[in-house]
C-alpha cells in the first residue's frame, strides 16, 4: 500500500516539480484563462444583444410596430439572430475555430492566435448564451412588462429596470453551466498550436511517458470549475434577498 | 376626458370588441360589469393601449392616442393602471416600486419621490412596509401598494382591471376602502369588477358589457333596480 502511494508521489513529483515542469502547466493555465475570459465577455455581449432582438421581435405590437423603421430593424436583427444560433449551434466548435484561424484570420500574425481562439470561442458561446438569456427573459411574467409600460416607462427602460434584473436570477444557474462548458472547451485550442492547459499536460506526458501530467491538467480544470461553482453560489444567495419571507 | 369612437379589437377571427362608442368625463367613476369573456378587460386595456385596437379611435384629453405618431409613453404617465395580479416588481422594495417610474422619467428627484412615497404609504397605513419586498406582504397589502405606485405618477385617470379578483375574501375590503377614498378625492376612475356592492356605492355610472358591446348603461340605482336588457336581467339574477 505504502509502495503504491510512494509510486504515485514519485510520478507526480517527476511530472510536476522535476525540471520546473510546473511552469509549463502555469503557462497553459494562463492561456486557458485568457481565452476563457475573452470568450466569456464576447459571448455574453453577443448573447445579450441577440436575445433582446429576439424577444423584442416577439413583443412588437401589431400593427403599430410594423410600419416604423425601428420595428423593421428589430425584425431584420431577429432574423439574423435566428440564423446565427442555427448555424453556430449546428456546427462543431472545432470546425468553427479552424475556419476562423485558417480562413478569416489567415494573414493575422501568429502572436494573435490566442485572440483568434478567444474570439472563436466567444462567437460559439454567444449562440448558447443568447438562448439562455432569451429563455430567462421569457420566464418573467408579461404582467411585469405591462406594469412597467403602464407607468410610462418605455420598452428599453422596462427591459433594463424591471425585466432583466429579475431574469438574471433565472439565467444565473444555466449561464454558469455555459461558462463551465466554455472553460473546458478551450482545450481544442491545441489544434491551432496554442499551448493551453490540456496541451501543456500532453506535452509533459510525451516527456515523462505516464498519464500523470494529464491527470494534473484535469485536476486543475476541476479546481477552476469548483471555484466557479462557489462564485455562482454566492451570487445566487445575494440575488435571492427579495425571495426571503419575513 | 376619454373619448372612444367605434373601437374594435379582434384576436384573429374572434371579435372581442365590436364597435364601442363611449365618453368618460372628468371626475366620473365608471364601473364596468359583465360576464367573463364579454370584453370588459380588453376594453379597459385598450384605453392605455396595453392592447392595440384593430379598429376605431381613442382620444385622451383631446389627443388621438391610437395615432401611431402619438408618444404613448407620455399618455400613460397620465393614466394609472391597477392589475388583477398586482404586478409589483418583486426584486424591488415597496418604496423603490413606488419611486421607480417618477425618478427614472425625471419627474422628480429620488428624495422628493421618497417623501411622496412615504406620504402615500402613510395614507394606506403601510409606512412600516416601505423597505419590505412584495413577496413578504399579503395580497391585500400588495394591491394597495400597487394603487399608490400608480398614484405616485399623479395620473388624471385610474384604470382598475378586476383589482380584487385575485384576493382572499377577507382582503377585498381593505382594497375597496382605498378605492373609495380615491373616489371621494375626486379621481376619475374606470373600474372593471365583479364587486356589485362597490358599483352600487361608488359608481356614478355602470356599464354592462356583453359580446363585445356595451348593452346597457345607467346610474347605479337605475342599473340595479330597473334593468332593461334581458341579458342584464339574467346577469344580475345570477350575481346578486
**B118-168, pLDDT tens digit by residue?**
999 999 999 999 999 999 999 999 999 999 999 999 999 999 999 999 999
A238 falls within a domain: no
Q: Touching check for B74 and chain A: CB below 8 Å?
A: yes
Tell me which of B96, B101, B159 to substitute to probe the interface with A (most A C-beta atoms closer than 10 Å): B101
A219 falls within a domain: no
Q: Touching check for B88 and chain A: CB below 8 Å?
A: yes
Is there a contact between A148 and A157 (Cβ–Cβ < 8 Å)? yes
Write out chain A residues lying below 8 Å of B105, CB-based: 152-153
Peptide bond into A66 cis (omega under 30): no
Distance CA B82, CA B160 (A): 5
Q: How confident is the model at residue A1 (pLDDT cuts 50, 70, 90)?
A: confident
Chain-centre distance of CA B177, in angstroms?
A: 15
Distance from CA of B88 to the nearest CA of A (A): 7
Write out chain A residues lying below 8 Å of B52, CB-based: 61-64
CB contact under 8 A, B91 and A166: yes
Strand B79-82 versus strand B157-161 pairing type: parallel
Q: What percent of chain A has pLDDT over 90?
A: 67
Quick one: cell of A172?
Answer: 444565473
Write out chain B residues lying below 8 Å of A64, CB-based: 52, 68
Write out chain A residues lying below 8 Å of B68, CB-based: 64, 67-68
Distance CA B222, CA B45 (A): 27
Q: Which helix (H) or strand (E) holds B131?
A: none
ipTM of the prediction: 0.92
The per-residue pLDDT for B234 is: 92
Sign, CA dihedral A192-A194-A199-A204, equals: positive
Distance CA A150, CA A1 (A): 73
Of B87, B136, B153, the CB nearest to A144: B87
Write out chain B residues lying below 8 Å of A146, CB-based: 50, 81, 83, 87
The per-residue pLDDT for A153 is: 94
> Higher model confidence: residue B10 or residue A108?
B10
Quick one: cell of B218?
Answer: 345607467
- Find residues 177-216 of chain B whose CB sits inside 8 Å of chain A: none
Q: How confident is the model at residue A62 (pLDDT cuts 50, 70, 90)?
A: low
Q: Touching check for B85 and chain A: CB below 8 Å?
A: yes
The per-residue pLDDT for B239 is: 84
The predicted-structure confidence for A179-235, as pLDDT tens digits, reads as follows 999 999 999 998 988 899 999 999 999 988 999 999 999 999 999 999 999 999 999
Q: Which helix (H) or strand (E) holds B210?
A: strand B205-210
The per-residue pLDDT for A208 is: 87
A223 falls within a domain: no
The per-residue pLDDT for A111 is: 84
Distance CA A205, CA A28 (A): 14
Distance CA A143, CA A61 (A): 15
Residue-number span of the structural domain to which A95 is assigned:
39-194
A182 falls within a domain: yes
Distance CA A39, CA A118 (A): 5
Residue B229: φ, ψ to 5°: -70, 135
- DSSP, collapsed to helix, strand or coil, labels residue A188 as helix
- Whether the model clears a pTM of 0.90, i.e. scores above it, the answer is no
Mean pLDDT of A47-62: 83
Write out chain A residues lying below 8 Å of B153, CB-based: 151-152
A206 falls within a domain: no
Distance CA A97, CA A88 (A): 11
Q: How many domains does chain A have?
A: 1
| Close Cβ partners of A47 (under 8 Å, ≥ 6 residues apart) | A125, A126, A127, A128, A129, A130, A132, A133
- How many alpha carbons lie under 13 Å from residue B149 in its C-beta half-sphere? 31
Q: Touching check for A165 and chain B: CB below 8 Å?
A: yes
CB contact under 8 A, A68 and B135: no
What's the residue count for chain B? 240
- Report the helix count and the strand count for chain B, using DSSP H and E: 9, 10
Neighbours of A170 (CB within 10 A): 18
CATH number at residue A163: 1.10.3720.10
Distance CA A119, CA A124 (A): 9
A25 falls within a domain: no
Q: How confident is the model at residue A244 (pLDDT cuts 50, 70, 90)?
A: low
In degrees to the nearest 10, what's the CA dihedral of A133, A139, A143, A144? Answer: -40
A246 falls within a domain: no
A126 falls within a domain: yes
Q: How confident is the model at residue A61 (pLDDT cuts 50, 70, 90)?
A: low
- B10 forms bridges with which residues in the sheet? B15
Tell me which of A59, A62, A145, A147 to substitute to probe the interface with B (most B C-beta atoms closer than 10 Å): A147
Neighbours of B72 (CB within 10 A): 21
Distance from CA of A72 to the nearest CA of B (A): 15
Query: B62: phi > 0 → left, psi -120 to 50 → alpha, else beta; which?
Result: left
Quick one: cell of A200?
Answer: 501543456
Is there a contact between A160 and A137 (Cβ–Cβ < 8 Å)? no
Q: Touching check for A166 and chain B: CB below 8 Å?
A: yes
CA angle B87, B91, B93 (to 5 degrees): 90
Amino acid at each position: 500500500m505504502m509502495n503504491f502511494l510512494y509510486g504515485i508521489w514519485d510520478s507526480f513529483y517527476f511530472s510536476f516539480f522535476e525540471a520546473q515542469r510546473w511552469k509549463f502547466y502555469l503557462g497553459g493555465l494562463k492561456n486557458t484563462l485568457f481565452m476563457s475570459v475573452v470568450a466569456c465577455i464576447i459571448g455574453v455581449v453577443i448573447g445579450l444583444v441577440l436575445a433582446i432582438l429576439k424577444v423584442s421581435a416577439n413583443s412588437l405590437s401589431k400593427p403599430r410596430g410594423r410600419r416604423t423603421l425601428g420595428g423593421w430593424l428589430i425584425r431584420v436583427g431577429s432574423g439574423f439572430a435566428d440564423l446565427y444560433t442555427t448555424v453556430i449551434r449546428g456546427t462543431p466548435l472545432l470546425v468553427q475555430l479552424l475556419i476562423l484561424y485558417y480562413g478569416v484570420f489567415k494573414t493575422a500574425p501568429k502572436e494573435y492566435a490566442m485572440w483568434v481562439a478567444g474570439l472563436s470561442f466567444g462567437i460559439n458561446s454567444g449562440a448558447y448564451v443568447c438562448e439562455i438569456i432569451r429563455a430567462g427573459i421569457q420566464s418573467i411574467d408579461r404582467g411585469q412588462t405591462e406594469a412597467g409600460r403602464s407607468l410610462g416607462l418605455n420598452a428599453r427602460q422596462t427591459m433594463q429596470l424591471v425585466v432583466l434584473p429579475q431574469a438574471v436570477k433565472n439565467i444565473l444557474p444555466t449561464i454558469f453551466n455555459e461558462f463551465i462548458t466554455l472553460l473546458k472547451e478551450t482545450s481544442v485550442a491545441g489544434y491551432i498550436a496554442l499551448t493551453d492547459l490540456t496541451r501543456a499536460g500532453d506535452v509533459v506526458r510525451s516527456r515523462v511517458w505516464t498519464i500523470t501530467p494529464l491527470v494534473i491538467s484535469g485536476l486543475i480544470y476541476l479546481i477552476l470549475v469548483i471555484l466557479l461553482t462557489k462564485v455562482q453560489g454566492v451570487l445566487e444567495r445575494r440575488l435571492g434577498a427579495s425571495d426571503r419571507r419575513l | 376626458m376619454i373619448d372612444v369612437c367605434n373601437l374594435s379589437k379582434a384576436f384573429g377571427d374572434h371579435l372581442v370588441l365590436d364597435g364601442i362608442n363611449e365618453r368618460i368625463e372628468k371626475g366620473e367613476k365608471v364601473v364596468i360589469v359583465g360576464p367573463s369573456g364579454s370584453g370588459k378587460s380588453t376594453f379597459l386595456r385598450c384605453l392605455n393601449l396595453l392592447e392595440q385596437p384593430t379598429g376605431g379611435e381613442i382620444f385622451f384629453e383631446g389627443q388621438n392616442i391610437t395615432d401611431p405618431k402619438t408618444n404613448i409613453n407620455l399618455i400613460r404617465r397620465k393614466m394609472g393602471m391597477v392589475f388583477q395580479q398586482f404586478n409589483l416588481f418583486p426584486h424591488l422594495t415597496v418604496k423603490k416600486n413606488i419611486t421607480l417610474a417618477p425618478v427614472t422619467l425625471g419627474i422628480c428627484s429620488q428624495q422628493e419621490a421618497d417623501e411622496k412615497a412615504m406620504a402615500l404609504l402613510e395614507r394606506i397605513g403601510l409606512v412600516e412596509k416601505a423597505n419590505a419586498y412584495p413577496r413578504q406582504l399579503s395580497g391585500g397589502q400588495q394591491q394597495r401598494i400597487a394603487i399608490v405606485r400608480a398614484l405616485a405618477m399623479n395620473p388624471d385617470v385610474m384604470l382598475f382591471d378586476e383589482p380584487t379578483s385575485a384576493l382572499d375574501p377577507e382582503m377585498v375590503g381593505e382594497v375597496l376602502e382605498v378605492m373609495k377614498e380615491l373616489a371621494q378625492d375626486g379621481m376619475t376612475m374606470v373600474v372593471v369588477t365583479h364587486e356589485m356592492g362597490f358599483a352600487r356605492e361608488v359608481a356614478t355610472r355602470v356599464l354592462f358589457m356583453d359580446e363585445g358591446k356595451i348593452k346597457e348603461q345607467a346610474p347605479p340605482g337605475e342599473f340595479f333596480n330597473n334593468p332593461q336588457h334581458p341579458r342584464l336581467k339574467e346577469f344580475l339574477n345570477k350575481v346578486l
